[in-house]
Amino acid sequence: MTANLAVESALKTDLESATSQERVAWAADMFGDDLIMTTSFGTHSAVMLHLVTSVVPDIPVVFIDTGYLFPETYRFGAELTERLNLNLKKYHARISAAEQEALHGRLWDAGADGLKQYNVMNKVEPMARAVRELGAKAWLAGLRRSQGESRSSRPIVESQNQMTKVYPILDLDNRTMHEYLTDNDLPYHPLWDVGYVSLGDWHSTSKLEAGMTETDTRFGGAKRECGLHEASGNVDFQI
């Protein structure tokens, strides 16, 4: 099924009023073995991982490792991988973080163009490779509308460069996420307790301080998205 036909089917099914579990089940029925999910092992990632694997236990879980994640993120990821028996598929840039800095410097500090190059090298290209190697046609991601303006008007299902993107927890707020974690005895990311509400690379993530929005905690507030979830048409997963 093409991405556009999947979006049309989603509209007919009225996934907007469906539960998160029903959205996952719809995607699994629609795409079968062509379905993957992604995780960043971020603050609330245990919700999405538990939710999806309770419906599709052996789904490939793609983890993009930039080499610049917090130590706590790697430990949290290892804990959840073992606890939930994840079918983890780790992808990273073709050259190491050390080699990147030697050749290009600190790209994340080199303005908009440098940051774009950094994101393509460390996030977009590895994800494109994952899509190709796993033969994926659809992708479950844990975006939520409450996380920032760039996500506030997303539909439950959308087409992005011939991929179907499905967001099962798009309409869940922080309270509902907390209740899910509590009800299922699942952990937050350990840095949540010290003020981090959104987690990415250590060099581009800050704590939530007074007067800041969640968007302000990523890339110094310059942008919310890292490249994987840009508006349709801006990211090429055929790289």
The domain spans of the chain are: 3-221
Active-site residue set: 226
Under a CB-based contact definition with an 8 Å cutoff, are residues 140 and 24 in contact?
yes
> Cβ–Cβ contacts within 10 Å for residue 104, how many?
14
pLDDT tens by residue, 151-206: 667 899 998 878 899 999 999 998 999 999 999 999 999 998 888 888 889 998 88
> The whole model's pTM is what?
0.87
Identity at 107, one-letter amino acid code = L
Model pLDDT, residue 140: 97
pLDDT tens by residue, 91-133: 999 999 999 999 999 999 988 899 899 999 999 999 999 999 9
Q: Which CATH code fits 3-221?
A: 3.40.50.620
Report residue 203 CA to chain centroid gap: 18
Report the distance separating Cα 5 and Cα 196, nearest Å: 39
